[in-house]
Structure 1
Amino acid sequence: MGRRNDEVEALLQEYADLILLTGGDAYRARSYEKAARAVGGHPGDVAHLDVKGLQEIPGVGKSIAAKIAEYLATGHLPAVDQLREKVPAGVREIMAIPGVGPKKAAVLHRDLGISSVAELLDAARADRLSEVPGFGERSAENILHGIEVLGQSGGRVLLNTATELAEEIVAELSRVPGCERCAYAGSLRRMRETIGDIDVLAAAEDSAPLMEALTALPYAADVIGHGTTKTSIRTTKGMQVDLRVVPADAWGAAMVYFTGSKAHNIRLRTRAVKAGLKLSEYGLFEVESGRKVVSASEEEVYAALGLPWIPPTLREDRGEIDAALRGELPEVVTERDVRGDLHTHTDLTDGLAPLEEMLATAAERGYAYYAVTDHAPNLYMQRMTDEKMLAQRQQVRELDRRFKGMRVLHGTELNIDPDGGVDWPPEFLAGFDLCVASVHSHFRAGRDAQTRRLVRACENPYVHIIGHPTTRLLGRRPGLDVDLDEVFAACARTGTVLEINASPERLDLNDEQILAARRHGVRFAVDSDAHSPLHLANLRYGIGTAQRGWLTKDDVINTWTWTRLRRLLNSVPSDSG
């Protein structure tokens, strides 16, 4: 199903982890990690490449290319299978706990004989981790929290994974004869950050061909239920997909019914009851006569309930119905409103593609401006130097003249140090068009220290944007322990912009944090944080998150015209409003 890049990326990353777990060479492991990221970010489907073609992917050498080709041909990689046999499955599960990783998992197994998450939980509660070299005073606390974070994922998948699968299923079912309409609904349409299962809705007179088509998909591993109105499957990746088929004239009511959260739908049904109506997936009906009032479109259903159409991303019962009744529902930002991307990377640091390739893809997206923001020198593994950055700046200036119609900005992603300082002195920072500042280390400092750290970064006159403000990685790393209200107040005071990082692993800030920051009057940038041309398209997930935070295009600076954005970038933060 779809591109096999993600599958190969996961395999190579697992191989890298297994090398570390079994005491193998760290440099070799890093080679596989780099190759994994390169395959994941490659725009084409690796399944269509031979060994020679695979070697053209940056970071994929001859040996790794041969292994990928072997896996694609056979579905197995003996080198990985052999290492799996040496490591208990439970140890691999421990490795997935936020804050643990392969090296610590190996030490725990070697020194304490811990081979499962349950055993680790017992050891942490019994304070046995302090016996292990390299585990500090807060190790037990951090691991307990990591186990809790891992448990919260509960089999849910990232938004992009669910979206790609849903779009493929909708495309397949739309080709079935007799299918009049097909779309996904549920929490995926509301663009929740993680998805438990996928709801697909189709309209047809005869449901049988659609139900058969769903169960015949090559990645349908199990048929959970099969009926005339609903069929459910579990895919080979463990994801449940529910297909419901309704008559074409019930489409609007069904989309309303299967999109809104439970709480939102209760509010709608309560309004219907007060008006003597009943709302179901088949329409809005008069209770006494049973006459159908409306059902064909969502707009008709909402209008019959005295409401304007409410965007799917707002249907969470967080005040959207009351706002609609007052005529105060926001016109939420859309991807069409975006004029540029202000946080991206190239292969000068940890990106996968050269600058010109990133710019060409951005130009194809119709951007009016685009910022390259490679990492600064305090992120030592990226080996940035003043000379490299100045050479890139010269290249950017030359390309800015070549890419007519798209301004090319030279920026950087600075590292916010534990005390809130950043890379480079003021005179060097003054040469950048744009500075994003992000936390990349010292995640476990106390709440007061983290808060002071971020506030000081906001107060730096050369910092325009705070990147991925909480640093969370969904299902892998919790956000910083920080007083966000104090940070939001500092941003409002200094005019510093907060990022909504569109990487599906981050979506940072999240929707609730955006709502809180918005109340302080903060402005936002929705950025892809792209490390390859393919990642530029992730902006859609950041926009969905921005919508869930009730943002309009005026709230998001990279929807502004270049003239307006330039005034913000050139102003002293405290004067930028």
Structure 2
Amino acid sequence: MVRANDQVEALLQEYADLIAIRGGEAFKARAYEKAARAVGGFPTDVSKLDAKGLREIPNVGRSVADKIVEYLRTGRMSVVEEARASVPAGVRELIMIPGLGPRKAMVLYEELEVASVDQLLDAIHKERLRDLKGFGERTESNLLHGISVLQKAGEGRILVSAAMDVAEQLVAELSDIRGCVRCSYAGSLRRMKETIGDVDILVAARRSAPFMDALTALPHTAEVIARGEKKTSVRTTTGLQVDLRVLPPASWGAGLQYFTGSKAHNIRTRAIAVRQGLKLSEYGLFDAESGESITSGTEEEIYDRLGLPWIPPTLREDRGEIAAGLRGELPVLLTEKDIRGDLHTHTDFTDGLAPLEDMVAAAAARGYAYYAVTDHAPNLYMQRMTKEKILAQRERVRALDGTHHTMRLLHGTELNIGPDGTLDWPDEFLAEFDICVASVHSHFNQTRRELTQRLIRACENPHVAVIGHPTTRRIGKRPGIDADFDAVFAACARTDTALEVNAHPERLDLCDEDILRARRHGVKFAVNSDSHAITHLPYMRYGVATAQRGWLTKEDVINTWPLAELRRFLGGRGA
């Protein structure tokens, strides 16, 4: 179930980390990081490529290709195993802490003999880090926060995209079994939460045995946790638990509603049933006194009998959706079909993996009406951008505009919001872009006041249309910055600057709770993929789902608007 590309990406990234830990050349570690990202974002399954084919992947040379071939043939990468042996396991554990880099992890090991998260916590509480060069009270505070993020991420949860890959493959395989009437994933995955603890699969069938047999016999099933007539639980080779339940076809709607959850939402619906003299369970809606079945076939029938409209799964978190449904005020949520274009994407001109022409063709294949290319600006120094280079790209974009059906191209840039809130280029140059996205990429540990003013200053620039990945978080890897986001949201509403819902599964930034807060300020949003590869463009589904969890409609999202309306929104910004 795990793509070979993902496995190779993880190994190459680990090797890059190990090089850095051992004090190797920075350029070599960076080269392996680039190769890892390139393999992970490459659309073709690397297990189907020979050495020559692998060398055609951007940033993959002969040496890297040989290592990939070795792994695909033997299941091991010898240089990684050798590097692991030379680095204490505890140091490898420490670099998993968000905010703690390889070099500082090695200093902690060499100077304080800290070789585990528990030992680091002990050292922080005893204030032992303060005598080390480059460490101090603020470092201690940041490390404590990073450890908290790591521990939460380690509670057996995985990114929604990884869980979706497993679930969709299982649904496809089980749907092909004779006797399957209906099959779907449920639980927190159907509600599209950003991380998933386990995958719930439901099947409607008259006989359960064929489906239980199939699940336990799949090659990616490593362990059968429990097996029964109605439910079987297994653990996959990647450690993910999958729970399969087989329901009578007549109970499908009630079962799907029940096992989708959330628990708090279900408590609300059951309370409504009780007030009406009914009983709601996974088998149906029944008369509480006689036990007579009222309805159970579809979710719509269940909700309708309770006096509610069908409530989309992404809203079922007990955040007021029941009350809104009873009042007839549920929003018509944004859908992926509503998205007319993607306003934040990258090419291999900076840190993307695919050429401009390939990204544009892939966007056109998605049926977009417009598409923005927003490569990085010069202050993200490793991208080596210049005015001359960005203007040359603009000429290429203009030449491609209109060559793919009716899709129009916008030439933009992703600006770096500096520590003082300044941007990469002067206003007169920014005015020439169709769209400017501005994002924080560094100096995450400024004070709350500094970070807040930094973001507000950026959104006050008349040429900035969108604040990209506003909190900068990376789920399970890096916490969001400590800014007064209510003040930032208010500033965005005042300046008519959109906030991004970044659809990359590692970001989903803004998150649903932040979207709900920002929406109350009257902010507009842009749901973007932040694609760095063709394979990232479909991430839009996760951004849309996150927007739904934040109760957004298509009127709230600028890239659902017709191009003429979008251009009017961008009009004061040089479009």
Considering the TM-score relative to the shorter chain, is it more than 0.5?
Answer: yes
Amino acid at match of 1:66: D
Question: Which residue is 1:226 aligned to?
Answer: 227
Question: Which residue is 2:435 aligned to?
Answer: 434
Amino acid at match of 2:96: A
Amino acid at match of 1:248: P
Tell me the distance in 2 between the aligned counterparts of 1:494 and 1:518.
15
Q: Is the 8 A contact 2:515 2:547 kept in 1?
A: yes
Amino acid at match of 1:162: A
RMSD after superposition = 1.2
Q: Is the 8 A contact 2:465 2:573 kept in 1?
A: no
Tell me the distance in 1 between the aligned counterparts of 2:56 and 2:556.
41
Question: Which residue is 1:450 aligned to?
Answer: 451
Tell me the distance in 1 between the aligned counterparts of 2:2 and 2:110.
40
Structure 2 counterparts to residues 131-280 of structure 1, below 5 A: 131-153=131-153, 154-280=155-281
Question: Which residue is 1:482 aligned to?
Answer: 483
Tell me the distance in 1 between the aligned counterparts of 2:83 and 2:572.
56
Tell me the distance in 2 between the aligned counterparts of 1:475 and 1:159.
12
Question: Which residue is 1:413 aligned to?
Answer: 414
Q: CA deviation at 1:123?
A: 0.9
Question: Which residue is 2:500 aligned to?
Answer: 499
Tell me the distance in 1 between the aligned counterparts of 2:413 and 2:278.
57
Higher alpha-carbon deviation: 116-125 or 405-414: 116-125
Amino acid at match of 2:337: R
Tell me the distance in 2 between the aligned counterparts of 1:283 and 1:504.
35
SS of 1:509's equivalent in the other structure is coil
Amino acid at match of 1:291: E
Question: Which residue is 1:349 aligned to?
Answer: 350
Tell me the distance in 2 between the aligned counterparts of 1:401 and 1:304.
51
Question: Which residue is 2:9 aligned to?
Answer: 9
Tell me the distance in 2 between the aligned counterparts of 1:565 and 1:238.
45
Question: Which residue is 2:298 aligned to?
Answer: 297
Tell me the distance in 2 between the aligned counterparts of 1:463 and 1:71.
45
Q: CA deviation at 1:249?
A: 1.1
Question: Which residue is 2:372 aligned to?
Answer: 371
Is the counterpart of residue 571 in structure 1 residue 559 in structure 2? no
Amino acid at match of 1:341: D
Amino acid at match of 2:290: S
Amino acid at match of 2:29: A
After superposition, what is the alpha-carbon deviation per residue over 1:432-463, rounded to whole angstroms, capped at 9, x for unaligned? 00000000111011111111111111110010
Q: Is the 8 A contact 1:2 1:168 kept in 2?
A: no
Question: Which residue is 2:465 aligned to?
Answer: 464
After superposition, what is the alpha-carbon deviation per residue over 1:297-342, rounded to whole angstroms, capped at 9, x for unaligned? 0000000111000000000000000000111000000001100000
Tell me the distance in 1 between the aligned counterparts of 2:244 and 2:483.
42
The alignment covers a number of residue pairs equal to 574
Q: CA deviation at 1:419?
A: 1.2
Tell me the distance in 2 between the aligned counterparts of 1:36 and 1:216.
32
Question: Which residue is 1:26 aligned to?
Answer: 26
Question: Which residue is 1:103 aligned to?
Answer: 103
Q: Is the 8 A contact 2:41 2:534 kept in 1?
A: yes
| TM superposition score normalised by structure 2 | 0.98
Amino acid at match of 1:299: E
Tell me the distance in 1 between the aligned counterparts of 2:402 and 2:264.
53
Q: CA deviation at 1:88?
A: 2.6
After superposition, what is the alpha-carbon deviation per residue over 1:16-49, rounded to whole angstroms, capped at 9, x for unaligned? 1111122222221111110100011001111111
Q: CA deviation at 1:2?
A: 4.8
Amino acid at match of 1:4: A
SS of 1:442's equivalent in the other structure is coil
SS of 1:489's equivalent in the other structure is helix
Structure 2 counterparts to residues 532-571 of structure 1, below 5 A: 532-571=533-572
Is the counterpart of residue 128 in structure 1 residue 131 in structure 2? no
Q: Is the 8 A contact 1:35 1:60 kept in 2?
A: yes
Q: Is the 8 A contact 2:431 2:573 kept in 1?
A: no
Structure 2 runs not aligned, ≥5 long:
none
SS of 2:478's equivalent in the other structure is coil
Question: Which residue is 2:388 aligned to?
Answer: 387
Q: CA deviation at 1:204?
A: 0.8
SS of 1:32's equivalent in the other structure is helix
After superposition, what is the alpha-carbon deviation per residue over 1:449-489, rounded to whole angstroms, capped at 9, x for unaligned? 11111111111001000000000111111111111111111
Question: Which residue is 1:35 aligned to?
Answer: 35
Q: Is the 8 A contact 2:226 2:234 kept in 1?
A: yes
Tell me the distance in 2 between the aligned counterparts of 1:208 and 1:23.
56
Structure 2 counterparts to residues 324-335 of structure 1, below 5 A: 324-335=325-336
SS of 1:285's equivalent in the other structure is strand
Tell me the distance in 2 between the aligned counterparts of 1:203 and 1:8.
37
Higher alpha-carbon deviation: 63-72 or 367-376: 63-72
Higher alpha-carbon deviation: 494-503 or 272-281: 272-281
Q: Is the 8 A contact 1:233 1:242 kept in 2?
A: yes
Tell me the distance in 1 between the aligned counterparts of 2:2 and 2:221.
14
Amino acid at match of 1:311: P
Tell me the distance in 1 between the aligned counterparts of 2:143 and 2:24.
24
Question: Which residue is 1:510 aligned to?
Answer: 511
After superposition, what is the alpha-carbon deviation per residue over 1:406-433, rounded to whole angstroms, capped at 9, x for unaligned? 1100000001111111110111101100
Q: CA deviation at 1:80?
A: 1.0
Is the counterpart of residue 87 in structure 1 residue 91 in structure 2? no
Tell me the distance in 1 between the aligned counterparts of 2:92 and 2:573.
50
SS of 2:82's equivalent in the other structure is helix
After superposition, what is the alpha-carbon deviation per residue over 1:112-147, rounded to whole angstroms, capped at 9, x for unaligned? 211111111111111111222222441111111110
SS of 1:138's equivalent in the other structure is helix
SS of 1:278's equivalent in the other structure is strand
Percentage identity across paired residues of the two chains: 66
Amino acid at match of 1:332: L
Higher alpha-carbon deviation: 355-364 or 157-166: 157-166
Structure 2 counterparts to residues 41-52 of structure 1, below 5 A: 41-52=41-52
Tell me the distance in 2 between the aligned counterparts of 1:357 and 1:103.
38
After superposition, what is the alpha-carbon deviation per residue over 1:136-182, rounded to whole angstroms, capped at 9, x for unaligned? 44111111111011111112111111111111111111112211211
Higher alpha-carbon deviation: 509-518 or 102-111: 102-111
Tell me the distance in 1 between the aligned counterparts of 2:311 and 2:47.
41
Amino acid at match of 1:144: L
Tell me the distance in 1 between the aligned counterparts of 2:177 and 2:7.
28
After superposition, what is the alpha-carbon deviation per residue over 1:378-427, rounded to whole angstroms, capped at 9, x for unaligned? 01011001110000011111111423401100000001111111110111
Is the counterpart of residue 58 in structure 1 residue 58 in structure 2? yes
Q: Is the 8 A contact 1:353 1:533 kept in 2?
A: yes
Amino acid at match of 1:285: F
Q: CA deviation at 1:572?
A: 5.8
Q: Is the 8 A contact 1:455 1:490 kept in 2?
A: yes
Q: Is the 8 A contact 2:462 2:572 kept in 1?
A: no
SS of 2:394's equivalent in the other structure is helix
Q: Is the 8 A contact 2:435 2:573 kept in 1?
A: no
Q: Is the 8 A contact 1:159 1:191 kept in 2?
A: yes
Amino acid at match of 1:118: D
Q: Is the 8 A contact 1:231 1:242 kept in 2?
A: yes
Structure 1 runs not aligned, ≥5 long:
none
Q: CA deviation at 1:102?
A: 1.7
SS of 2:401's equivalent in the other structure is helix
Tell me the distance in 2 between the aligned counterparts of 1:59 and 1:181.
44
SS of 1:250's equivalent in the other structure is helix
Tell me the distance in 1 between the aligned counterparts of 2:554 and 2:400.
28
Amino acid at match of 2:478: R
Q: Is the 8 A contact 2:221 2:234 kept in 1?
A: yes
Higher alpha-carbon deviation: 314-323 or 42-51: 42-51
SS of 2:457's equivalent in the other structure is helix
After superposition, what is the alpha-carbon deviation per residue over 1:217-243, rounded to whole angstroms, capped at 9, x for unaligned? 111111111001000011111111100
